[in-house]
Structure 1
Amino acid sequence: MTHPDASAPTDRLFLALWPDTRLRGALARHADDWRWPRSARRVRTEKLHLTLHFIGEVVRSRTAALIDALAVPCAPFQLALGRPANWAHGLAVLEIVRPPAALADLHGALGEALQRAGLAVERRAFRPHVTLARQAAGALPPAQGPELAWAVRGYALVVSDPGAGGGYRVLAHYPAQGAGG
């Protein structure tokens, strides 16, 4: 995103489904069962998530307004994670088994909210997944993929902190309607 003052501080943002601690642990245990090449860079357990939309660099002074602009209605739904795959460019992922219509609906509604806020939406097709590792060409998943149940109860706006030790910070959590918090 372009802005008039190139020196203004920015946040690198994305929208994601953010797993709870239990699911994140199950994902990490599944990743432990893969055979990884030496080059593999596994995603740290606390960073495991499913990206809905990558937003990119946004002038920090706009972030507070975006928190409100990205609130869209969301119903609770279920996902089943369980199809291990090696994607191009060395990505090892766990794909969604039978993606529900509710996931596509949420992705679409968030894309519309991003456009209303004046932000670009990626043009490539949405391929829902959890990235387990990068630089992992040749990784071998276990013979049996898990089928991990994910009770989606909302989504999050997340900032990616820069630097080698950087992590992710949830800036806003948007609970699903009727999700009980």
Structure 2
Amino acid sequence: MRAALAEPLPDLVPEQARATHPLDLHLTLVFLGELAPDRLRCVESAATDIGVPAFALSLDRLGYFARSQILWRGPTSIPAPLRMLVLTLQTRLQACGIAPEQRAYRPHMTLARKVRAPPPAVSSAPVEWTVSDVVLAAGRGGTVPRYEIRQRWMLDARP
């Protein structure tokens, strides 16, 4: 999947842009920010036994956020299991003092930053991804890859 996402990048990302390291490609479910140790334990507990089955996600749309100068790839429509996963996490995280995001959830993978203009219209095959786990990742400054996986939870394997 990472290779398929990176394949069209040379044609899409201008020289001044910064492509996302392949190991940093991710789909944010809930942004947490920096967490104190007690809140971190609460978050870890909230993500345990989430009860959502593994699911297929088709990353079939290329997009551009002009304000943040981000080139991204995401789904045209959000599958029900992804909606359920985000809603369940948001609900459980309220007990940790983390309020749900007020904006509508817009799943996307950041492919590149500092992209100053929308890319040319390009046709590329959808990238299919079987989502089988959820991770807690933390950013670390100055290193590549930028994110470190702190914990991983498997989604329910039942269909």
**What is the TM-score when the length of structure 1 is the normalising length?**
0.78
Give the aligned length: 155
| Structure (1/2) with the larger strand percentage | 1
Match in the other structure for 2:30: 53
Deviation of 1:137 after TM superposition, in Å, equals 2.2
1:148 corresponds to: 127
CA-CA distance at 1:70 after TM superposition: 2.1
In 2, the alpha carbon distance for the partners of 1:133 and 1:24 equals: 14
What SS does the corresponding residue of 2:59 show, helix, strand or coil?
strand
Shift of residue 142, structure 1, vs aligned partner: 5.7
TM-score by length of 2: 0.87
**SS state at 2:75 partner:** strand
Tell me the CA shift for residue 61 of structure 1. Answer: 4.7
Task: Verify: 1:86 aligned to 2:64, yes or no.
Answer: yes
SS at match of 1:178: coil
Q: In 1, distance between residues paired with 2:7 and 2:118? A: 16
Code of the residue aligned with 2:54 in structure 1: it is: P
TM superposition shift of 1:99: 1.8
Aligned 8 A contact 1:75 1:177 in 2: yes
Which amino acid in the other structure matches residue 39 of structure 1?
A: Q
Residue of structure 2 equivalent to 1:27 = 5
Distance 1:93 1:150 in 2: 15
What percentage of residue pairs aligned between the two structures are identical?
Answer: 31
* Secondary structure in 1 matching 2:28: strand
Aligned counterparts of 2:134 and 2:120: Cα–Cα separation in 1: 28
Structure 1 residue aligned with 2:143: 165
Q: Which amino acid aligns with 1:33?
A: D
**Matches of 2:34 and 2:155 in 1, distance apart?**
26
What's the offset of the Cα at 1:146?
2.4
**Aligned equivalents of 1:50, 1:30: Cα separation in 2:** 19
Structure 1 residue 141: deviation in Å? 4.7
Gaps in structure 2 of 5+ consecutive residues: none
Structure 1 letter corresponding to 2:84: D
Match of 1:95 among 66, 71, 74: 74
Deviations 1:52-81 (A, max 9, x none): 110111113542342122222121111101
Judge which range, 132-141 or 44-53, deviates more: 132-141
1:2-13 mapped onto 2 (5 Å cutoff): none
Whether 1:106 aligns to 2:85 is yes
Which stretches in structure 1 are left out of the alignment for 5+ residues?
A: 1-22
Task: Quote the RMSD (CA, aligned, Å).
Answer: 1.8
Q: Is contact 2:17–2:113 with CA below 8 Å preserved after alignment?
A: yes
**Using the alignment, how far apart are the partners of 1:101 and 1:149 within structure 2?**
16
